[in-house]
Amino acid sequence: MSPPPSAKSQSGVVSAGSLAHTLRVASGDEVPQLARTLADAFGEDPVCRWLLPPGPRFRARLRIMFTAELQLYVLRNGGTVWTTSAYDGALCVLAPGTWQMPASFELTEALRWARAFGMRLARAGRVQQELQERHPQAPHFYVRWVGARVARQGQGLGTALLQAVLDEADLAGLPAYIEASSERSAALYERLGFEHTGVVTLPGGGPMVWPMLRPVVTR
């Protein structure tokens, strides 16, 4: 397998409330650090807790899942990962027309997903299919993941990461789409202009997910 492509070099300071966060675009060789950041951010996420087998290897499986997400999906599809110099948070975004998960994987790639999900691999596949079927078809920016490390949560970093993408979406004249995995995160997205498009109960008796779309803001 070829290494993931490097994202274009960008950086900037984004304000969130009274805080300013220096953000930058990560490259493909930073995947291990980014996966650790996202695994820390989503360690108590209800959807991740339901998707991955419980037990002492849960955190390790979560890192494996995010490594596969970044290399086999986000970066392979030309997506961008925003972060900070200390990897305090991360946001994965896919540009218009690139949001669909590959229809199939090489055997070695499929085994990487199996290492993460174990006996729940089929469950993860059903969830992905359900969310893809409800995904908007019109051009948009898709925020796949956004989170801050536990030690940095509640400090405006998630808002700053999202604002970087929303500014880009507004310049392009396109909406942004995200799937909230908790009511708390949905409330944050609402404050940033996202609107609910419905509620999804994940197949197999899973938790709820709130798909949300932010219309274009003319500036």
> What ranges in 77-156 are assigned the alpha helix state H?
107-117, 121-133
- Give CA–CA dist 117/144, Å, rounded: 18
Closest CA to 76 of 106, 107, 47, 51: 106
Segment 198-215 shows an average pLDDT of 93
Read off the pLDDT of residues 21-66 as tens digits, 9 standing for 90 and up. 689 999 999 999 999 999 999 999 999 999 999 999 999 999 999 9
The C-alpha atoms of residue 84 and residue 198 are separated, in whole angstroms, by 32
Cβ contact 93:169 at 8 Å:
no
pLDDT (0 to 100) of residue 87: 96
Q: Can you tell me the mean pLDDT for 182-200? A: 95
pLDDT for residue 204:
81
Cβ atoms of residues 136 and 177 within 8 Å: yes
Q: Give the CA radius of gyration of the chain.
A: 16
Contact in structure between 209 and 181 (CB atoms under 8 Å): yes
Q: Which fold has domain 11-214?
A: Aminopeptidase (3.40.630)
Kindly report the pTM of this predicted structure: 0.89
Share of the chain above pLDDT 70, in %: 90
**Amino acid 11: pLDDT:** 56
Alpha-carbon distance of 161 to 142, in angstroms, equals: 13
- Going by pLDDT thresholds of 50, 70 and 90, the confidence category of residue 8 is very low
* pLDDT at position 17: 44
Nearest to 213, CA basis, from 163, 158, 156, 143: 143
pLDDT-derived band at 102 (thresholds 50, 70, 90) equals confident
pLDDT band at residue 20 under the 50/70/90 scheme: low
Separation between Cα atoms, residue 47 and residue 55, nearest integer Å: 16
